[in-house]
Structure formats: C-alpha cells, structure tokens
Amino acid sequence: MKSKFLSLNAVAAFLISATCFTSHAQDKKSLAYPDEKHFKNMRQLTYGGDNAEAYFGFDNEHITFQRTNPKEGVNCDQIFMGKIPKSAKEKFTYKLVSTGKGRTTCAYLMPDKKHFLYASTHKAADTCPPTPDRNVIKKYVWPIYSTYDIYVADFKGKITKQLTNSPGYDAEGTISPKGDKIIFTSTRNGDIDLYTMNIDGTNVKQITNTVGYDGGACFSPDGKKIVWRASRPQTKEEVEEYKSLLAQGMVMPTKMELFVANADGTDAQQVTHLGKANWAPSFAPDGKHLVFASDYEYERGFPFNLYMVKMDGTGLERISHDGSFDAFPMFSPDGKKFIFSSNRNNDGGHDTNVFVCDWVD
C-alpha cells in the first residue's frame, strides 16, 4: 500500500470529526466478470482511497481492514472495522479502531470478539514513517519498518497489551482458528523469519531459518498447517542484494513463492514455482486448496489476479479477471463468503477497494 507523511493536524481533525464513515449505495451493475464463476452477489464495501488486507473475524460477520485516504486526512494506513451487510439494502459502515498515529498494518480480530490484533509504528512517532524513494533506489521495494510492534486493542481503539517489544520489525500477525496461537514476521534475528507465540504473547518460537523473506503467513482451518510467501535468493549476487536492502529496512517483493508447513514450521514444502510475485496466500475452507495473488502471467509484472491451487502445487486455477489489481483474498471461517481488494470499478483511477461476495464451488 502507498503511504505519505502524516499531518498531526489532519489526524486530530480526522479523529474528532470522522470516526465513522458510510459507504455509497451498492452499484446496480454487476461487479464480477463473466469468467469469475466462483463469485456471486458481489458487493463493493469501500469507495475511495486505498483499502486492503480485509480479514474476517471468528463470527463470520465483522472485518478489519487498513485504509489510506488523504482526502479524509488518513495519509498512511490506519485500521478500520465494520460489519458485513446481510442484505443489499443495508449499508456498510466502518469506524477507525487504531490510534490514528503512526502507520499500521495487518489487523486480525481476536477470538474473544472484543479485541483485535495489529502492528503499529505509533510508539516511535505520531507521524507516518518515511517511504523508500524508489527514484533513488531504482527498484520496487517494500519498507520493513523497525518501529513496528504488535498490539492488542479494544474496539474503541484503547491498546490493552503490547505483545512484542524486541528490536526490529514485528508485524504480519494472524491468529490460529483454534484461538491459541499467533504467527508473525520478525527481524529480531537479523533476517526476516516467521515466529509463533501464544495468544497472550508468551512462548515465542522461531519456525523458519532460511535466508530470505518469510512473511504473510496464516493457518489452515484446523490450525494444523500454515502457508506463507517467501523469497529465496540463490546466487551470491542475489543474497548480497537481499542483505543490502534489508540493512536499509527494505525488501524487494518481486520474486516470491508460496510455501506450506506444519504449524510448528516442520516439513516445509514449496507449493508454487511460477516465478514473479506470488503472495497474500490463505487457505480455502477445505484446508486442501490455497488462494493467492500473482502476476506470473505478465512479463511487465502487472496486473495481479487471484488464483487457487492445491497444496501440492497442482490444479492451478485463475479465479479473478480484472485487468489491473486483485489481491488479499480470504474466505470467511464458515466458507460462505469471499473477500478481496481490487482496482475494479474505480473509473480508471488508482483507488483500491474492498469487495465481498458469496463463494460458489
């Protein structure tokens, strides 16, 4: 997601006057393409700005997502929460649940249905951290902010616990459907690896140890497996470039593949061998298939579409067909709903919005 420097005055005005937004009425036209046979009754939930990483809670009804919209004074990602409408007549409303300070990412609703998990840089500074200048770096990179830590907060935005407090990047946390474990990404060992911890932040364990970026992990529906995205630099030059960027707090996400393993990191297996950027994976309800975003079909690295594949890498199926950007797919826990972010229906602009639909096998 794109971000810019955050104005304290803009944040103050935002918190005071705009803690809740309501979406536009649902579009009359179909938002799904004819080839998107798995999507039914699609609805656009957000309008304007960059809206992404929408994740269902344990109740199948509430979602959290991160949002940037400078027109509303949200100049870098903040976390919002809303309830999925049950009918086409019901409006989708959402409210700010992060602090409005710093930059946030990767929110996930807690099993108690009263709190949520997210990463934030607000403890280091109220303002947005600077973004990499790609004109200077001349590469497409993601920032890995060392000021990210993982917090638990209630739905009024009050932080009730800080779960990580080690030097370096701690973010990308998701929760096991069993409600007992959190998996997250950290640079505490000098590389970018996956870790697990108990739901209260205790018993932290490192579960990956190969040079390269390991992140964006989530659990299978039974909590026994994990899937994640990983880069695996092979040559001396690739390893040196990876380590050089990491030392500057950056990672280049243009070459990533999907991996699966047991929840403790054992028996890790590479699923995709597609090249390009394969990322944002999550499990299908059957626990045997994965959904993810990829640009592997396009030489220029764009657009991104959604795909489904078996855990052994066979049966690859393209499930979305927008000509720009579809990513961050996730099923509701009961398997009935499917949510993702897309550039579709934005009148040719750059807005990324959240869409939800019924899933058809």
Q: What are phi and psi of 144, to 5 degrees?
A: -115, 85
Asked if residue 18 has pLDDT above 80, the reply is no
CATH superfamily membership of 8-21+31-359 = TolB, C-terminal domain (2.120.10.30)
Half-sphere exposure of 129 (CA within 13 A, CB side): 19
Residue 3 has a pLDDT of: 35
pTM: 0.90
Convert the pLDDT of each residue in 33-92 to its tens digit: 999 999 999 999 999 999 999 999 999 999 999 999 999 999 999 999 999 999 889 999
Convert the pLDDT of each residue in 188-240 to its tens digit: 999 999 999 999 999 999 999 999 999 999 999 999 999 999 999 999 999 99
Measured between alpha carbons, how far is residue 361 from residues 36, 40, 298, 306, 319 in Å?
A: 11, 11, 27, 15, 11
Residue 174 has a pLDDT of: 98
Sign of CA dihedral 313, 317, 319, 322: positive
Measured between alpha carbons, how far is residue 23 from residues 1, 33, 92, 156 in Å?
A: 21, 22, 6, 20
Convert the pLDDT of each residue in 145-156 to its tens digit: 999 999 999 999
Peptide bond before residue 303 is cis, with ω within 30 degrees of 0: yes
What average pLDDT score do residues 7-20 get?
Answer: 31
Cα–Cα distance for residue pair 157/79, rounded to 1 Å? 10
Measured between alpha carbons, how far is residue 244 from residues 67, 134, 146, 169, 209 in Å?
A: 30, 15, 15, 16, 18
Convert the pLDDT of each residue in 160-176 to its tens digit: 999 999 999 999 999 99
Measured between alpha carbons, how far is residue 158 from residues 65, 76, 98, 101, 202 in Å?
A: 17, 20, 8, 13, 21
3 state SS of 276: coil
| Residue 25: how many other CB atoms lie within 10 Å | 10
pLDDT category, 29, cuts 50, 70, 90? Answer: low
| Residue 358: how many other CB atoms lie within 10 Å | 14
Indicate the domain borders of the chain.
Answer: 8-21+31-359
